[in-house]
Amino acid sequence: MVGTIVGAALGLGCGGGAGATILVGKVGGEGGTYVAVARQDDRLAAFFCSADPAGEGYPGWFKGTVEEDGAFRVERRGWSLAGAFDDTGVHGLLVEPEGDLSGFAAAAPRDPVAGLYASFHEDCSTGVIVLDPSPATDPQVRGAWWCDDGDEAAVQVVPLLPLTLQGDRLVVEIDLDSGVKQLEVAPLTDVPR
């Protein structure tokens, strides 16, 4: 069964003022985990996604506030995230519930397709990070879908290839027990309050 869910709720194009600044990068530099951090005024949203979100622990979206000096610290589900914004982007540490530390850095994307995409539907969320392509590669994509109150574990998001925008949205698929579901994810433009 194929269904379509469009993110038109909290965090997607709502609110006033200037839009969010999106920064994308990798955890540990060369690893398979990607990071996207969104900042809007003093609000912060961060999303991490590994190559296998279903097989590894998964914190979901981090949300919090940024201090005047650019520093932040937020926690979710036993995970913690601390870092700071500077002229080059954002850098910091991700601490897993078991205490494992991983450094991360993220910068402004150069490619128009690169960035952070999201969809929020009822109690379920989708996050997709698209990294800048190198001259020899296509854009790199990691994403996950999960429900905070559901029995489903995080599920890997699979982008439709070749990676193209339909309007401003990416089309992705998730493979659930009930069948394949198609989702449209829009660029995150506003950080939730």
Sequence spans of domains, the chain: 4-187
117 — pLDDT class (breaks 50, 70, 90): very high
50 vs 34: CA distance, rounded Å: 6
13: nearest Cα among 193, 188, 168 = 188
User: In angstroms, rounded to a whole number, what is the distance separating the alpha carbons of residues 54 and 56?
Assistant: 6
Q: 54 and 70 in contact (C-beta within 8 Å)? A: no
The helix/strand/coil state of 72 is: strand
| Structural tokens at position 98 | 């078991």
- What pLDDT score was predicted for residue 29? 57
Band (17; pLDDT cuts 50, 70, 90): very low
pLDDT confidence of residue 8:
29
Residue 169 reports pLDDT greater than 70: yes
Is pTM, for the whole model, over 0.95?
Answer: no
Angle of CA points 141, 121, 19, to nearest 5°: 65
Residue 105's pLDDT band, with cuts at 50, 70 and 90, is very high
pLDDT at 100 over 60: yes
For the residues 150-174, what does the mean pLDDT come to?
84
